[in-house]
């Protein structure tokens, strides 16, 4: 079963995204901030990361920078309420594969998860 980490400081957003991912066949682990996300990424080596950009300790861009520095092989979907083009470009440069706007449209999330699964051959 493919594994996914949902990293978001909003418990509601984590719950909603985790529910959709579980329905799509993922094993789901939740992280409430950047530090927990990085620890869980290193422990579990998931296939996909749903990453909120605006979370504390550290934020989403810092998590992406850490992943890039470690040459981590993980498909990242950035989840955010608003993203500027410069931030989007930086996220892509750091390896993000997809973007999802908040509030999350769960049909779009299912499609993105299916695309990321196909990409990794999971």
Write down the pLDDT at residue 73.
84
pLDDT, tens digit, 9 for 90 and up, residues 70-113: 877 899 999 988 778 888 899 999 999 999 988 899 999 999 99
User: Rounded mean pLDDT of 55-69?
Assistant: 93
Write down the pLDDT at residue 7.
98
Write down the pLDDT at residue 47.
94
Q: Is the pLDDT of residue 46 over 70?
A: yes
Q: How far apart are the first and last CA of the chain?
A: 8
Sign of CA dihedral 121, 37, 105, 1: positive
Distances (CA, A) of 94 to 88, 90, 98: 10, 6, 12
Q: What is the mean pLDDT of the chain?
A: 92
Q: How far is residue 88's CA from residue 111's CA, in Å, rounded to a whole number?
A: 20
pLDDT, tens digit, 9 for 90 and up, residues 3-13: 999 999 999 99
- 3-118 fold: Rossmann fold (3.40.50)
């Amino acid at each position: 079963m493919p594994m996914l980490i949902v990293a978001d400081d909003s418990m509601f957003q984590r719950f909603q995204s985790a529910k959709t991912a579980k329905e799509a066949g993922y094993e789901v682990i939740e992280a409430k901030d950047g530090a927990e996300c990085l620890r869980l990424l290193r422990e579990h080596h998931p296939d996909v990361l749903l990453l909120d950009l605006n979370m504390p300790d550290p934020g989403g861009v810092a998590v992406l920078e850490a992943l890039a520095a470690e040459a981590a092989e993980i498909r990242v979907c950035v989840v955010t309420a608003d993203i500027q083009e410069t931030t989007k470009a930086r996220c892509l440069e750091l390896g993000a594969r997809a973007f999802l706007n908040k509030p999350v449209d769960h049909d779009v999330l299912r499609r993105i998860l299916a695309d990321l699964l196909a990409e990794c051959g999971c």
